[in-house]
Amino acid sequence: MITGIRSYRRPERVSALRSSGEENDELTRGSGYTVFSTLIAGMIAYGGIGWVVGHYTHIALLFPIGLLVGLAISVGWVIYQFGRPHKLGTAPKGDDR
Q: What is the pLDDT of residues 19-30, one digit of tens each?
A: 554 455 567 788
Give the mean model confidence (pLDDT) for residues 34-54: 95
The rounded distance, in Å, linking the Cα atoms of 86 and 40 is 26
pLDDT band for 81, please (50, 70, 90 cuts): confident
Total count of residues recorded for the chain: 97
pLDDT band for 94, please (50, 70, 90 cuts): low
Residue-averaged pLDDT of the chain: 78
